[in-house]
Structure 1
């Protein structure tokens, strides 16, 4: 080997070290702008260690002991010295090692046009170092840094690919030459391993995505339930306030009636009692079923419907709600009624506004049928009504979340000016 080749080979090792340390620290979210001394200290310490080892033991030993000389100490320093988690430290160093591969391949590719001349390979790899480092820092690092906010499971999953590559690379190319001499057995193993790893990662990714979607649906349901609870509390407070007023004034009412009876003013007493009854009827909570919470929801929204000149017909014959969490049913009915009221508000003629609700039991299941008129034609996507207006469309998703929670079936239909919602739980 010529002196030029030895010198370029050594310079190439220096650039590999520079690339690996810089990439590892960046991926661990250690900024060069604020931690320049850390970068320089790492360059000097690892550079001197690698230089001395190269001089004493030679290139082959350096290559074989690189994990113990560079990679492991770098992981430990990032973890314990720079206070990053062991998962983040391993992801940073292993990913940096993985990103060194394109640099090496570019050198090999260019040298293939010159009979795989090692001098051409080293020069090309050295020249490609800074552009690749720029691309990694600008376009890859910002995304890898976000992993520090993820769970250990996500970090372990992300680490699986670079760790597998790291183990196979050293097993088949550094500590053995099976990659080049193993023949079809090794090639088929690599193909099988890549396929297996792909399916493992895909399955786990799908599972995490499903769990995240479920969590988002539950969060949506909780937010909707919380908003609905506030409405219920406000309505209950109003009803309780009116009831308190009548309880407080009851003594005065009875005293006045007593005076009328003693004075033989029966007609005036009857008129006074009729007035009290009319006022009591205006208290919004009415009895539609045996469950008071459902009565509150139905009373609240049907009162709103009445204020909008919407004709309402309600029939609740179901009596067994023990299988359900009442807040879930309240959320389901509240969102359905609210959507129906909004649909009726778009109708110019009050005489054609209506909402019909029927809740009954069939084959030990709870059935809910609702029909309402509408002014604007609803938009459906995948048989589900949607709204692209800000703040709208969440109610339907909340309804679906409740139905799916109890493994029910549902359907939304619209034709000839009538919208229908049906579900069986």
Structure 2
């Protein structure tokens, strides 16, 4: 029985080593199936080194030299030998060390019922090793592995917590006993440090999340603008094609009119000219504002509205668009008009369909007011109209992105059958 404590202690160290190596390699996305030799050689080499160090210098020295004997070589093995990044290598090893804490706590907790008997503590930690390792490999590793796709900033942020814990653990429990003898000063320091670290990580996480959301909104805006541009290019091409046809046929028209005048068939000539004018009026490029791109957008969508028997009333008195990127305004108006046309088209009574658009300047700001009738009651979430239909709802997000880009304000309203969109940029 006298050798039982030493035996359990040695077994516990073996299980610690097995747990740490396995968890570190798994968290670094090094599978056992593909790297079986690496696992076995790591167990063997680190195990022999640990046993020699334990027998020659004793347990206390082993505990103090563990970072240089086990942790650092394991990081270097993953970095140089297995070609992982230094961030992934450090995160893997330090996270594995961090997960040893629950293992140690279980031993302490169980032994507390037996007057903190070290034999009970070692036995409990040995027993809990494999179940805890299973949880780490099964549920923790798949998420840590995804860090290899992140940039250095995210990896540094994630590394901050296990690295801080590692330094404090060795500073206060291994190289000194301040954690147990330092009293309120050390306890308050630990509390303050954890609170400070929590707020730092929270602030940085929120900032990175905000940047990512902004990038996603900008990407959404670009995709929507690109799709919108394709629609407008097609519309412009159609108008240009019709104009080209009339220019090409102008010689034939003039020749026909010349023959009518020569034969004194004035009435037939007048009728022919009227038909030509009617056809020219159907080319969907009307002038609503001075900017050509905006005018094309308005002309295109208002023509679509007319085709669906939607009454349109448009007033554009604003003239200065120099502060804006025209593609942004085109995207904003195109999405607003497209949504309005879609809402009006759901009304069965054509006489109840209407769109009113007013674009004007006030106090050196651009104001856009749009109102349209609707047949189906819109659904709002946080004062934003939403749609659960496939392909819908993206336009509103694109509109909001444009307004926020220019630090403007916006509002969506619906009451008594009328939907209104207002913004000031």
Fold shared, TM-score > 0.5 on shorter chain: yes
Structure 1 partner of 2:211 = 211
* Distance in 1 separating the partners of 2:400 and 2:278: 39
Q: How does 1:185-334 map to 2 (within 5 A)?
A: 185-334=185-334
Whether 2:3 is the aligned partner of 1:3: answer: yes
Question: In the alignment, what sits opposite 1:110?
Answer: 110
CA distance in 1, matches of 2:187, 2:165: 14
Task: Tell me the C-alpha RMSD between the 2 structures.
Answer: 1.1
Displacement of 1:337 in angstroms is 0.5
CA distance in 1, matches of 2:380, 2:108: 56
1:397 aligns with 2:397: yes
Distance in 1, matches of 2:382 and 2:46, equals 59
TM-score w.r.t. the length of structure 2 is 0.98
- Corresponding residue number in structure 2 for 1:370: 370
Q: Whole-Å Cα distance in 2 between the matches of residues 33 and 415 of structure 1?
A: 64
Shift of 1:116: 1.2
Matches within 5 A, 1:18-97: 18-97=18-97
* Counterpart residue number, 1:167: 167
**Counterparts of 2:268 and 2:308, CA distance in 1:** 35
User: 1 CA distance for matches of 2:23 and 2:43?
Assistant: 12
Deviations 1:130-162 (A, max 9, x none): 010011111111111111111111111011110
Q: CA deviation at 1:265?
A: 2.6
* Corresponding position of 2:127: 127
Quote how far apart the aligned CAs of 1:252 are: 1.3
The gaps in structure 2 that reach 5 residues or longer are: none
State the shift of 1:395 in Å. Answer: 0.9
TM-score (norm 1): 0.98
Aligned to 1:386: 386
**Separation of aligned partners in 1, 2:365 and 2:180:** 67
SS at match of 1:65: helix
Unaligned runs of 5+ in 1: none
- Rounded to whole Å, the distance in 2 between the matches of 1:258 and 1:321 is 46
Q: Secondary structure at the match of 2:99?
A: helix
* Pairwise CA distance, 1:263: 3.0
| CA apart distance, 1:266 | 2.4
Give the whole-Å Cα distance in 2 for the aligned partners of 1:291 and 1:315.
14
Deviation by residue 1:154-179 (Cα, 9 ceiling, x = unmatched):
11101111000000000011111111
